[in-house]
Amino acid sequence: MPDTTEMPNSPAPLLPPPWHSDDRSRPRIRDVRVILTAPEGTRLVVVKVETDEPELYGLGCATFTQRPLAVATAIEEYLRPQVIGRSVHDIEDLWSMLAVSSYWRSGPVLNNAMSGLDMALWDAVAKARRVPLWKLLADRYNGGKFDDKAWVYAAGGYYYPGKDLDGLQDEMKHYLDLGYSTVKMKIGGVPLADDLKRIEAVLKVIGGKGENLCVDVNGRYDLDQALACGAAIAPYNLRWYEEPLDPLDYLLHAALATRYAPPLATGENLFSMQDARNLIRHGGLRPDRDVLQFDPALSYGLVEYLRTLAMLQRHGWSGRRCVPHGGHQFALNIAVGLGLGGNESYPDVFAPFGGFADDCPVENSLVRLPDIPGVGFEAKSALYRVMRPLAEG
């Protein structure tokens, strides 16, 4: 039988029809808009959820800096048609629908697209309730309990041409001046002997306190290299040894954990509850010391992060072992409202998305959150300048 399907001029997504319901739950999603921008060289995908209530909207960031056009297309052509007409309060149901609306359900494009939309929806819901997102999360999921402040650390210590030990020390001194007592630096990009000199240079700046220094390999090592580095840095008693191995090779992590007793950290390159569960089941990590860095802005959003936290609890892990990667306001709200172990911070990298509200300075690596409705993007002037064209448009 011949195929008589009429093909439009441009491919149309295979989507269910827009949601129509007789219930009167409000507010409803009127539209989803996206802008692409690159302030300070950082490519951002900003999402706005518009509602049928005047002046009520939500903002999110769906940033996949290497594929911004793909993420924007995924939101505009595939996610947007499925959510228009739905109540903003249906976040969990919307998430489930979007997650299964395509047979292939994983990958950085879809998870960033869904994360940005999820973030904007939570921003809108908190604004509709006239409470900060951290307060909404505490009331809904944490028995009303929240942390007054979150522990944060300054991530940096990158390799740059011409950056010597003096330059590295100056960078770390700058972070201390900003109020951070704990810092993180990269290792694995030069021979181990040179990295040990870099570590010792930073330790001198922070008073020799290994517990105030984290090192991050970004998955560069094989097992032999990770073991050699682990043996060399163990005497420093560092806060943690981060992503020494391929983040998806759980067997290697388990092997390393049997030989390296101090804390390990990983998880920023795992993007679903199932990935996280495989790490917990097979990665050999220790719930009394190791750190999990799943990033809700990169892994399908808060709905999936809540599923991940529930899984961790079933496996005997405390939320205090979770310190999300990313250094942004969304994760900070989650850390405070759900009682996590803290949050990363990028004082001088990934501007203007990284960092926190203007009137919430860091003191001794602790920061409070602004008491304004939503995620609080409006309280960070450099970031809100980027979002304003959507917010006010």
Q: Which residues are catalytic?
A: 186, 325
Q: Which residues contact 231 (CB under 8 A, 6 or more apart)?
A: 260
Rounded Cα gap, residues 267 and 288, in angstroms: 16
- The Cα–Cα gap between 26 and 87 comes to 6
For residues 38 and 170, give the distance between their C-alpha atoms in angstroms, rounded to a whole number: 28
Contact present, 379 and 358 (Cβ < 8 Å): yes
Per the CB < 8 A criterion, the answer to whether 299 and 271 are in contact is yes
For residue 267, give the nearest of 201, 180, 331 by alpha carbon. 331
The closest of 129, 141, 64 to 335, measured between CA atoms, is 141
Question: What size, in residues, is the chain?
Answer: 393
Q: What are phi and psi of 151, to 5 degrees?
A: -75, 135
